[in-house]
Amino acid sequence: MAYPILRGYCDPEKLHEWTLVECATKEKTERVLHRLSQSDPEMILASAYIFSCKELYEILSRYVLINPQVKVVLGGPEFLGDNEAILRKYPWVDVIVRGEGEIPLKEIFEEKGYGYINGLCWIDEEGRYRDNAKATLAKMEDIVPHYSDLFDERRPFVQYETSRGCPNRCSFCTSSLDTVLRFIPLDDVRKHLQKIAKIGTTEVRILDRTFNIKSSRTLKLMQMFREEFPQLRFHCEVDPALVTDEFLHELKQMPKGQMHIETGLQTFSQDTYDTVQRRSPMDRTVKGLQILCDLENVEIHGDLIGGLPGATRESQLNDLLALIALEPAEIQLENLKLLPGTPMCEYKEIVAAPTPPYEVLRTATMNYDELTQVAEWSRLIDWYYNYQALQPVLIKTIKRQLSFFENFHAHMRSQDAFAQALNPEKRFRLIYDYLVKIDEQEALFDLAQAWFLAGFSPERGLFPAKTNPAGIAEDAEFICGQKEDIEVKRQFVFYHQDKALYINYGKGCINNKKTSISLWESQVLVPQH
């Protein structure tokens, strides 16, 4: 997103030739070097963050040997802290831009002296480290004209910001360094969305730190999304503590699936909120999140952070179970990272890796093994909660047996599962083995339903079923799938203890799928084998 805005802002008269070189972190260095050498640039502008800086340094440290005259300017979230060590380690870096890059880059292009440009860090001719603080763009209106080249029809989604800044001061977050709110005028937002819709892109990922920070403006945006852009799907981050009745009313009017909302809860502890200087009251946060999760037309994504100040293994597990109980569509659990420049870097009781991604290694209340367990819980969540077919199984089993998640984690450790990459069938097999081991029969029946709905074979595998030419029993109750307007092609029945599960495969019209699956359940007097 930064490239077209910076290009338009810094070079409005198009006096310079620009070449965009994009690369994946796994792309071979020599291929990127070849593309750079083909461009033969006089200046390289590069952005870095925790997951790309290693590869970036490897590429550029080689390219400056090929082209020693090139000027290298770096920016991005990796450089929000003290940049002296980086500049001395990589002397081929001419200057680093800290903060928002529009104004300092424009002034570099205008050949102003570094000493007169706010936001620059560099080593001067006498070998001294120079630091000109942090650059900020005063008004979002200044960059609006340069959005014209932002939207690329080749991409499946568009990243877009309607505001910058965040009034929360969470000490672990880079947004705590930018508390001044600035907004793009609504008329300009409308024009940008019209262009996005015109080029055929269907998903807009809004980068605003807190989409609902200004209630009256948020309501107008949501009305605009619903009434003028029903073909677009919007992804945004919301503070649950700021959820109002008016916001909920507008959200309920949205077409199903048009909004995907991320909620950065991070923890259920008010003490931790106070320690990290987050202003949201915990009671309002939890209440707002519960209300959001109860909505049927909106997908809610809940975030937790492991290793925050005061957190223990027990509190982390309780937080995770509490979030699972709210049943958001997705859960993300990630251990804390001490990001450069954030106030949390000054917390002496938190020890993190000295190199990217700066992951926390121990805290005053959690040792390394406990943090490793949290990372393993994260993988379990990805495998069994965020995989839609298995999510109901996990939720129902935890409701029946609160200790299930912790015990299942111990079982997966004993199977060395966290050293593996688990495909969907392997995930089914591992949880199946454990449910058999603990004789959790209800969960096994739930797992059988998930197996068939996920499209696995009814004739072989974990749950072999029988062909069922007689059809569904008269007393069978519909469970899920497509009930009406289905042309049944194949019928099976699976028996489990005193239950019969009927699986019908046919042609239907749900989600444009050629094959539909419906499940029915009934009681049987004599278990079948």
**Structure-token match 């107008």, residue found:** 220
Print burial letters for 197-223: b (CB count within 10 Å at least 16), e (below 16).
Answer: beeebeebbbbbbbbbbbeebbbebbe
N residues, the chain = 529
**Structure-token match 């269907």, residue found:** 202
Which residues lie closer than 8 Å to 95 by C-beta, 6 or more apart? Answer: 73, 74, 108, 114, 120, 121, 122
Please state, in angstroms and rounded to a whole number, the distance separating the CA atoms of residues 197 and 224.
Answer: 13
Which residues lie closer than 8 Å to 306 by C-beta, 6 or more apart? Answer: 316, 333, 334, 335, 336, 360, 371, 374, 375, 378
- 199-255 pLDDT, tens digit per residue, is 888 999 999 999 999 999 999 999 999 999 999 999 999 999 999 999 999 999 999
Residue 513 has a pLDDT of 52
Radius of gyration of the chain (CA): 27
The SS3 assignment for 183 reads strand
Residue 494 — φ and ψ, nearest 5°? -120, 125
Please state, in angstroms and rounded to a whole number, the distance separating the CA atoms of residues 297 and 57.
Answer: 44
- 183: β partners: 163
Please state, in angstroms and rounded to a whole number, the distance separating the CA atoms of residues 217 and 347.
Answer: 36
The helix or strand, by DSSP H or E, that contains position 88, with its residue range, turns out to be helix 84-89
Print burial letters for 403-441: b (CB count within 10 Å at least 16), e (below 16).
Answer: ebbbebbeebeeeebbeeebeeeebbebbbebbeeeebe
Residue 528 pLDDT exceeds 60: no
**Structure-token match 């081929």, residue found:** 92
If we measure between CA atoms, which residue out of 233, 235, 286 comes closest to residue 256?
A: 233
Residue 144 pLDDT exceeds 80: no
If we measure between CA atoms, which residue out of 179, 265, 245, 188 comes closest to residue 221?
A: 188
- For residues 81 and 358, the answer to whether their CB atoms sit within 8 Å is no
Instruction: Report which of residues 30 and 526 the model is more confident about.
Output: 30
Confidence of residue 153 (pLDDT cuts 50, 70, 90): low
Residue 511 has a pLDDT of 45
Residue 12 pLDDT exceeds 90: no
**Count of Cβ atoms closer than 10 Å to residue 319 Cβ:** 23
Residue 43 pLDDT exceeds 50: yes
- 158: β partners: 204
pTM summary value: 0.92
Query: Of 43-47, 58-62, 137-141, which range is least confident?
Result: 137-141
Residue 234 has a pLDDT of 98
The pair of structure tokens assigned to 264 is 């950065």
Q: What percent of the chain has pLDDT over 70?
A: 95
Checking DSSP bridges between strand 360-362 and strand 351-352, what pairing results, if any?
Answer: antiparallel
- 301-352 pLDDT, tens digit per residue, is 999 999 999 999 999 999 999 999 999 999 999 999 999 999 999 999 999 9
Instruction: Report which of residues 527 and 239 the model is more confident about.
Output: 239
Checking DSSP bridges between strand 182-183 and strand 163-164, what pairing results, if any?
Answer: antiparallel
User: CA–CA distance from 326 to each of 287, 348, 462 (Å)?
Assistant: 10, 34, 30
Instruction: Report which of residues 4 and 45 the model is more confident about.
Output: 45
- For residues 239 and 282, the answer to whether their CB atoms sit within 8 Å is no
The sheet with strand 299-306 has its strands ordered as 157-160, 203-206, 233-238, 259-266, 299-306, 330-335
- 68-119 pLDDT, tens digit per residue, is 999 999 999 999 999 999 999 999 999 999 999 999 999 999 999 999 999 9
Please state, in angstroms and rounded to a whole number, the distance separating the CA atoms of residues 330 and 301.
Answer: 5
- 118-129 pLDDT, tens digit per residue, is 999 999 999 999
Residue 510 has a pLDDT of 44
- 330: β partners: 301
Q: Among the residues of 327-470, which ranges form H helices?
A: 368-380, 391-400, 404-414, 424-437, 441-453
